[in-house]
A and B are shown apart, each in its own frame.
Chain A
Amino acid sequence: MTESDFETAERLSRRRARMLPAMAVLFLSGQAIFAIGPDDPTRTVDQVKVAAWLVWALALLLLLATGGGAFRSKRVRALMDDEGTRAHRGRAYAVGFWVAIGTSVGIYALTAFDRVMPREAIHIIVTAAVAGALLTFGALERRAHRDG
């Protein structure tokens, strides 16, 4: 039996709600690799690490911004990006913004006691903001799917 657009959107939306928080946690835990030894921008291995982090962050942002389903029909994408989803995305952006502000202030306060390199600070702020936004979006979507 073929699946209707509505059923496809429902299935993909549920999968997205499960996957996004997991991807956020993976993204956060993946940063542990940066804690191993000092970062040397001239070393190829460190350049690859940084490039991987950048690509990962941008891919997650793209997923958050578009809602996924890029290769699906226009109707499936519209169902996956309806006004309820857009409201959740708006709240996720707001959380990401406040997480970024909070993390920045925290790092600024930390500089009174310790030296923080610009790249380290940016890395922490961007990682926290992206993960915060993704976790919020995923949590809101999961809650919306429950009790149905």
Chain B
Amino acid sequence: MRQDVSVEKAERASSLRASLMAAGAAIVAINAWAEWGGSDSPRPGGVALWVLLVLVWTAVLATGGGLALGKRMRALLNDELSLRNRARALAAGFYAMLAAALALYLFA
């Protein structure tokens, strides 16, 4: 059935997205550590790359990704549960950002 194929494809794309986003988070963190973790000053190009990575991944978070896929596939990828998970991710991101910022403020 056509609908089942679509649901199966969306299921695979959703799993792939989950794995890619976890990898993306790790890459952003490793990149930040590589630039700021050592005693040397971060390279301007490295910082720009990190900013670019953050923007790309926040764009993926905002849109749910799969922009090249069809409307129906995107609707399946961004269903009610995904939207709820995204809202929880944004809340976690909000608090993680504030906690990191305040901790940095005290040590800056």
Contacts and interface: CB of A to CB of B under 8 A. Distances in A.
Q: A–B direct touch, CB within 8 Å, in complex?
A: yes
B94 A133 contact: yes
A97 B101 contact: no
Which secondary structure dominates where chain B touches chain A? helix
Interface residues of A, number: 23
A24 interface: no
A93 B58 contact: no
Contacts of A126: 98, 101-102, 105
Contacts of A57: 102
B51 A108 contact: yes
A129 B90 contact: no
Interface in A58-102: 61, 90-91, 93-94, 96-98, 100-101
Given A61-B98, A97-B94, A122 B55 contact: no
Interface of A: 54, 57, 61, 90-91, 93-94, 96-98, 100-101, 105, 108, 118-119, 122-123, 125-126, 129-130, 133
B54, B90, B93, B94, most chain A CB atoms within 10 A:
B94
A26 to B, nearest CB: 19
